[in-house]
Amino acid sequence: MSFDEIVEDVQRYVEYLRDEGVTRLNMSRQVLEHVENEQDIALELRAIAATIANCRKCPLHEKRTKTVPGQGCVKPDILFVGEAPGADEDQQGVAFVGAAGQLLTRMIEAMGYTREQVFIGNILKCRPPGNRTPLPDEMETCLPYLKAQIALLKPKVIITLGAVAARGLLNAQTGITRLRGRWMAFEGIDVMPTFHPAYLLRNESAKRPAWIDLQEVLKRLGKTPPPRK
């Protein structure tokens, strides 16, 4: 559940209690701390997004329409990391909304999650012109934003999508075909590299190994995938 959904839920509940004539509410300290903690993380994430929106640290700011900081749950089990926004993402300011994003949504749902229960972002927060591959110095310049997000989100597992994301986050120089399915680590967090959904759209045969990677992640999280519909 995203922070905004939590806020809406709490507001609805407070209105319901008011309608019922309840004027005083004793929330447990634990519940309050939980809400405060999530609020703090959401506020920090918004501050990072605001900094990104004004960032001019690399030339990619010149042609962007919108920055794409990433979005989702503030305390996720899983953080998905792609390489950079594409045309749809640049227009909407939201990560993974094009055709590849729709496949990512199906992958997330096959794992038993919703998009709102995970966090989705990229190494780069601005679109490279013509969707070209991000340059190493662009990734190095932008990476501190993702690192700051990871420090706040504290995901249990990071899934990198495609070779470029693995290179940007892990400095992995191996091709994705050899890299995928092998556990790695980023600052103490388990990382599973797998194929990028855009690659899966073009290569049907890669879907099976990608699903094996996602199942491996579920195993590490102590979960089983829901029955397929």
Kindly list the residues in this chain that would bind ligand SF4 in the complex (CB under 6 A). 52, 55-58, 60-61, 67, 124-126, 138, 141-142
CB atoms within 10 A of CB 4: 11
Start-end of H helices in the chain: 3-19, 29-53, 87-92, 99-110, 136-153, 163-170, 176-179, 197-202, 207-220
Report the residue number, 113 or 119, with the smaller CB distance to ligand SF4.
Answer: 119
- Give the angle 68-73-183 at the CA atoms, nearest 5°: 85
Query: In a 10 Å sphere around its CB, with 0-12 CB exposed, 13-18 middle and 19+ buried, how is residue 44 labelled?
Result: middle
Report the residue number, 10 or 50, with the smaller CB distance to ligand SF4.
Answer: 50
> How far are the Cα atoms of 61, 81, 91 from residue 118, in angstroms, in the given order?
27, 11, 22
Report the residue number, 133 or 141, with the smaller CB distance to ligand SF4.
Answer: 141
Report the residue number, 142 or 165, with the smaller CB distance to ligand SF4.
Answer: 142
DSSP letter at 119 equals E
Could you tell me which of 192, 196, 182, 128 has the C-alpha nearest to residue 155?
Answer: 192
Report the residue number, 125 or 196, with the smaller CB distance to ligand SF4.
Answer: 125
Report the residue number, 67 or 160, with the smaller CB distance to ligand SF4.
Answer: 67
Q: How far is the CB of 208 from ligand SF4 (least distance, A)?
A: 34
Could you tell me which of 186, 214, 197 has the C-alpha nearest to residue 105?
Answer: 197
Q: How far is the CB of 160 from ligand SF4 (least distance, A)?
A: 17
Cα(93)–Cα(70) distance, rounded to whole angstroms?
Answer: 8
